Amino acid sequence: MTTPRLTISPNGPEFSRIALGMWRLAGWNLSPQTRLSFIEQALELGITTVDHADIYGSEAPFGEALALAPSLREKMEIVTKCGIVPLRTPQTVTSAPHYNTSRKHIVAQAEESLRLMGIETIDVLLIHRPDPLMDADEIAEAFAELKQSGKVMHFGVSNFTPSQFELLASRTPLVTNQVELSPMFTDPLHDGTLDQCQRLSIAPMIWSALAGGRLFSKDSEQALLLRATLEGLAAEYGVSPTTIAYAWVLQHPSRPVVITGSRRIEAAREAVAAVSIKLKREHWFAVWTASKGHNVP
């Protein structure tokens, strides 16, 4: 079993179709050696793309594991994000968590990410969330500075609407938009986000493809109907319901890169298995119908 790869944008890097999500890593309380072995097992499956953010608290424990086998760095594409600033002091009416996409903040956070991971270059740096105060020219200047110094190779965004993407892309090349998509959350199918990715030949990165686990744990009418549908299709294709859920997301023509979030390597394996499944149209729409609660008009 291995993971196919794709070039995510015309001048962009090559990613594995399945990426390893590090959001929850710090909470797994693994020893550095066990963390390393998790990463090694993912690499053995061909999962070479790793997704971090400065606010996940994942960069330092990842760096600690990587320090045990530094040569693994060359086998990976490392993505991280910046722009969200949690409040370190208690919130008051005059101070709040905020976004910061100033040149100074972007450059400083990228440098801090490099330090924490113990690496020399970030493959792709994303602006984590659209900042209502973002100045596209200033972000472009920060990106140019980081590129020129060799600290970051490529840039992208996350959770951007098509018009926000268009604005920033008018000033600086972007290689991806990392967005939420799952059988439970389908907005990007209909709000222009994935249309834009197709138009620009940019592969989206997909977060919470299993709705953060709620697809298998929530007791809403939608989740129950989706589970029954996924189980029926799983029996038909001879794979797990999880694999069907991943296959449903992967099948979008924008060529998504799906980020897994599980601490279990078995779940990563179920995601890799999904890359070779092509759902029949009536099956893809059975999941869509279960999600929406009605047939196509």
Q: Which residues are catalytic?
A: 56
259 forms beta bridges with: 19
Supply the minimum distance, in Å, between the C-beta of residue 96 and ligand NAP: 19
Task: Give the nearer residue to ligand NAP in terms of CB position, either 104 or 264.
Answer: 264
**262 touches ligand NAP by CB under 6 A:** yes
290 forms beta bridges with: none
Task: Give the nearer residue to ligand NAP in terms of CB position, either 63 or 261.
Answer: 261
In the set 177, 249, 261, 275, which binds ligand NAP (CB under 6 A)? Answer: 261
Task: Give the nearer residue to ligand NAP in terms of CB position, either 158 or 291.
Answer: 158
Amino acid letter for position 121: T
**192 touches ligand NAP by CB under 6 A:** no
**CB under 8 Å to 82, separation ≥6 — which residues?**
53, 54, 105, 106, 109, 110, 113, 125, 126, 127, 128
Compute how many other C-beta atoms are within 10 angstroms of the C-beta atom of residue 2: 11
* Piece in contact with ligand NAP (CB under 6 A), picked from 3-11, 116-124, 224-232, 260-268: 260-268
**210 touches ligand NAP by CB under 6 A:** yes
| Binding flags for ligand NAP, 82-111, as an x/- string (CB under 6 A) | ------------------------------
Task: Give the nearer residue to ligand NAP in terms of CB position, either 174 or 209.
Answer: 209
**51 touches ligand NAP by CB under 6 A:** yes
Calculate helix-pair angle for 136-148, 162-169, nearest 10 degrees.
60
What's the CA gap between 269 and 185, in Å, rounded? 23
How big is the CA angle at 19 (ends 177 and 169), to the nearest 5 degrees? 15
Supply the minimum distance, in Å, between the C-beta of residue 117 and ligand NAP: 14
Supply the minimum distance, in Å, between the C-beta of residue 22 and ligand NAP: 5
SS3 content of the chain, % helix, strand, coil (to 5): 45, 15, 35
Task: Give the nearer residue to ligand NAP in terms of CB position, either 51 or 59.
Answer: 51
**243 touches ligand NAP by CB under 6 A:** no
**147 touches ligand NAP by CB under 6 A:** no
* Piece in contact with ligand NAP (CB under 6 A), picked from 145-153, 203-211, 231-239, 278-286: 203-211
How big is the CA angle at 179 (ends 16 and 253), to the nearest 5 degrees? 60
Q: Which residue is nearest to ligand NAP (CB)?
A: 261
Which DSSP string do the residues of 250-262 spell out, in sequence order? HTSTT-PEEEE--
In the set 209, 230, 249, 286, which binds ligand NAP (CB under 6 A)? Answer: 209
What's the distance, CA 79 to chain centroid?
Answer: 9
From start to end of the chain, where are the E strands? Answer: 5-7, 14-16, 18-21, 49-51, 77-82, 84-85, 98-99, 122-127, 152-158, 177-180, 205-207, 257-260
* Piece in contact with ligand NAP (CB under 6 A), picked from 107-115, 191-199, 247-255, 262-270: 262-270
User: Left (φ > 0), alpha (ψ -120 to 50) or beta: where does 176 sit?
Assistant: beta
In the set 40, 41, 153, 216, which binds ligand NAP (CB under 6 A)? Answer: 216
Q: Rg for the chain (alpha carbons), in Å?
A: 19
Positions touching ligand NAP (CB under 6 A) are 21-24, 51, 158-159, 178, 207-213, 216, 242, 259-264, 267
